A and B are shown apart, each in its own frame.
Chain A
Amino acid sequence: MADVLVDDRPTPAVPPRAAPPRRPSARQLERRSRVVRYALRIVVVVYLIMLVGWPLSLVAQRALGNGLDDIKELFADPQMMHAFKLTLFAALISVAINTVFGITISILLVRYEFPGKRLLNAFVDLPLAVSPIVVGLSLVLVYNSRSGWFGPALEGAGFRVMYAFPAIVMATTFVALPLVIREVVPVLQEVGTDQEQAARSLGANAFQRFRRITLPSIKWAVIYGMVLTLARSLGEFGAVKVVSGNVLGVTRTATLAVEEKYLNFDKPGAYATAFLLALVSVACIIVVSLLRPKDQG
């Protein structure tokens, strides 16, 4: 496979040696470009299958090796059920927070002018580039109840953040924060303000303009953003590992359970859990890719 890649990579067109003395006929050119096209197609398909497709199908194969027994076993285990519920609940809260926050920030960034706008615009992408371990560490440093910046005060007020449910929610919200914004901002820029201004001149107030004009025009972008946020939140691993404490049946999420099961030689359990998580995330992608074309037009 490596040879093929090296050969074809830099030349997505006719190889440079093709410098014939006489100009080739149109038919020759067409045939050559068809050969190149097939070659490129094969390289891409093989690369993607070797890197993503085949490994993914093997996980499904291993998870379903004993029929549905391994998966049924997971659902029979109360601690795994707790982990699934915990993961889902945290992800749903993260989606809700990031949707409200994302729409607000997007509208502010596109429609309003304020000092520090460019800085905010760049900073909202930060969570996508920061290592999940650094995310976890940063939350621990501020919110742990012994030496954190805010932790002791919150603990004194009877609110425990770190190594508990709020920390899991914060970590998943942190890592998925830019996804709604990235979907909504381009659409808002595209639709412009004509309709909003028309509505305003007809006497609509800010709330009416938002509900009747702005929201319908960004509806699909918000939905993609929410689906992507859901997938990202359900699957967060590194940040949650640092902040959750990973206590069995209390703060162990589904992704943490995959690692735990694999390291404890429960490979069928690990593959079954991984399969369920993969199923949800692939379903999210398919939903987005099926919805997306309808938006154009």
Chain B
Amino acid sequence: MAVTALPPPAATEPEARRRRPRRGGGGRESQLTWASGVGLGVSVMWFSLLVLIPLAAVVVTGSKEGWSGFWNAVTQEQTLAAIRLTVGTAFLVTIVNVFMGTLIAWVLVRDDFFGKRALEVLIDVPFALPTVVAGLVLLSLYGPQGPVGINIANKPSAVFVAYLFVTLPFVVRTVQPVLAELDREVEEASRSLGASSFTTFRRVVLPSLIPAIAAGATLSFARGVSEYGSLVLLSGNIPFQTEVTSVRILSSIENNNAVGAAAVATILLVISLVVIVLVDILQRRLVRRG
């Protein structure tokens, strides 16, 4: 840990400072000291060995056979069907989450009733529950012997329900804090000027929630696209019907087709990267709005 190291020896500190390029506006952020520089070096090295180099290896391996090899692997009929199912379902689920997530956040912030704490716990369950257990959990209600008589096992709707389950917390948890911080007086002013509560919501509340909703939606889309564990027992992984992209990559790995697996994985990786960048931009926007 950087900060636990001994104070920098007087001789090396100016030297270390000289090597670092100065960036404008010191303010509250300090320049690196000797100790924090070592901390940064070790952390970045660990991060590279664990995350960056392996992810780079995916892209490099995926492009080993050139653009045509990559294109052939990705546009193979079964793979295309899997990508279409994954992205399409994740998109639908995200739309549901935008509405339901905002609604749930609204009720949790503005309403008060017995059992609200229990609902709060329920919302976090999909985040902490092991994904394979999530699959089994859904199978017990919506499976062949489920008590409600709805059987989604091995059907495309299984993918939809599984995504809905694992992405539940994202929109709720990004919208909730913003909604709680909102100034209620503005809404009261709008009401007292004769706006209906729907108009007030649409014209006063919603605009300030939109960056948070968008950030949550993006995260929920990314989580859906990358989901694997909850589908293993639930969807049956039938090619062209319920096989998602992650499962497709896994079967390529199991067939020792590392290049094919890496090519398809590159697609998912690009989606993740785009999402990260989008969320970063949206969060900056959130902060600026204060």
Please list the residues of chain A having a beta carbon within 8 angstroms of any beta carbon in chain B.
Answer: 5, 8-16, 18-19, 23, 33, 36-37, 40-41, 43-45, 47-49, 51-56, 58-59, 62, 100-101, 103-105, 107-108, 110-115, 118, 120-143, 147, 149, 170, 173-174, 177, 192-193, 205-207, 209-211, 214, 228, 231-232, 234-238, 241-242, 255, 258-259, 262-263, 270-271, 274, 277-278, 281-282, 284-286, 288-289
State the majority secondary structure of interface residues on A: helix
List 14 extra interface pairs beyond A52-B125, A193-B28, A285-B128, CB under 8 A.
A10-B99, A12-B201, A55-B141, A104-B39, A113-B30, A126-B273, A130-B55, A131-B227, A131-B249, A137-B253, A140-B258, A207-B3, A211-B4, A237-B131
B222 in the interface, Cβ–Cβ < 8 Å? yes
Q: How far is the CA of A107 from the CA of B3 in the complex (A)?
A: 9
- Asked whether any CB of chain A lies closer than 8 Å to the CB of B52, the reply is yes
- Are B132 and A237 neighbours in the complex by a CB distance under 8 Å? yes
What residue of chain B has the Cβ atom nearest to residue A11's Cβ?
B198
Q: Known contacts being A56-B125, A207-B4, is A238 close to B29, with CB within 8 Å?
A: no
- B interface residues with partner A (beta carbon < 8 Å): 1-7, 20-21, 23, 26, 28-33, 35-36, 39-40, 42-44, 46-47, 50-55, 57-58, 61, 99-100, 102-104, 106-108, 111, 113, 115, 117, 119-133, 136-138, 140-142, 147, 164-165, 168, 194, 196-198, 200-201, 219, 222-223, 225-229, 232-233, 245-247, 249-250, 253, 258, 261-262, 265, 268-269, 272-273, 275-277, 279-280
Q: For residue A271, which residue of chain B has the nearest CB?
A: B136
Interchain CB contact under 8 A, A133 and B246: yes
Checking A49, A59, A210 against B4 with a beta-carbon cut-off of 8 angstroms, the contacting residue is: A210
Listed from nearest, the 9 A-B pairs whose CB atoms lie closest are: A235-B130, A131-B226, A138-B54, A129-B272, A237-B229, A13-B197, A281-B128, A231-B128, A238-B228
| Interfacial chain B residues near A282, Cβ < 8 Å | 121, 125, 128-129
Instruction: Indicate if the CB atoms of B133 and A277 lie closer than 8 Å.
Output: yes
Interface pair A101/B4, CB less than 8 Å apart: no
| Chain A residues near B219 (CB-CB < 8 A) | 128-129
- A53 and B50 CA atoms in complex are apart in Å by 36
Cα A62 to Cα B276 in complex, Å, equals 39
Determine if B277 and A122 form an interchain contact, defined as CB atoms under 8 angstroms apart.
yes
Evaluate contact between A47 and B50: CB separation under 8 angstroms: no
B21, B58, B113, B120: most-surrounded residue (chain A CB, <10 A): B58
- Closest B-chain residue to A42, C-beta based? B107
* A51, B227: Cα distance in complex, Å: 17
Q: Is the CB of B198 within 8 A of A14?
A: yes
Known A114-B32, A130-B272, A285-B128: A124·B47 in contact at CB below 8 Å = yes
Using known A-B contacts A13-B200, A18-B196, A133-B249, determine if residue A141 contacts B232 with beta carbons closer than 8 Å. no
B2, B54, B103, B246: which has the most chain A beta carbons within 10 Å?
Answer: B54
Cα distance, A47 to B97, chains bound together (Å): 12
Chain B residue at smallest Cβ distance from A138: B54
Which of these, A9, A108, A118, A235, contacts B129 with CB under 8 Å? A235
A48 to B117, CA, bound (A): 13
Do A237 and B4 have beta carbons less than 8 Å apart? Answer: no
Return chain B residues, CB-CB under 8 Å to A135. 54
The distance in angstroms between the C-alpha atoms of A115 and B31, with both chains bound, is 10
Q: Give the residue name and chain of the A residue nearest to B201 (CB).
A: A13
Residues of A within 8 A of B130 (CB): 234-237, 255, 258, 274, 277-278, 281
C-alpha gap A18/B137 in the complex (Å):
41
Residue of A nearest to B223 (CB): A129
- CB atoms of B55 and A126 under 8 A apart: yes
> Can you give 14 contacting A-B residue pairs, CB < 8 Å?
A14-B198, A33-B197, A37-B111, A52-B168, A53-B122, A104-B39, A111-B28, A125-B276, A126-B273, A143-B54, A238-B131, A255-B133, A281-B128, A285-B121
Q: Which of A53, A210, A258 contacts B3 (CB 8 A)?
A: A210
Structural contact, A262 and B268, CB atoms closer than 8 A:
no
Complex: how many Å from CA A56 to CA B140? 8
**List of B residues within 8 angstroms of A177 by Cβ:** 47, 50-51
Q: How far is the CB of A223 from chain B (nearest CB, A)?
A: 15
Contact indicator A137/B262 (Cβ below 8 Å): yes
Task: Give Cα A112–Cα B3 distance, bound, in whole angstroms.
Answer: 12
Minimal beta-carbon separation of A256 from chain B (angstroms): 8
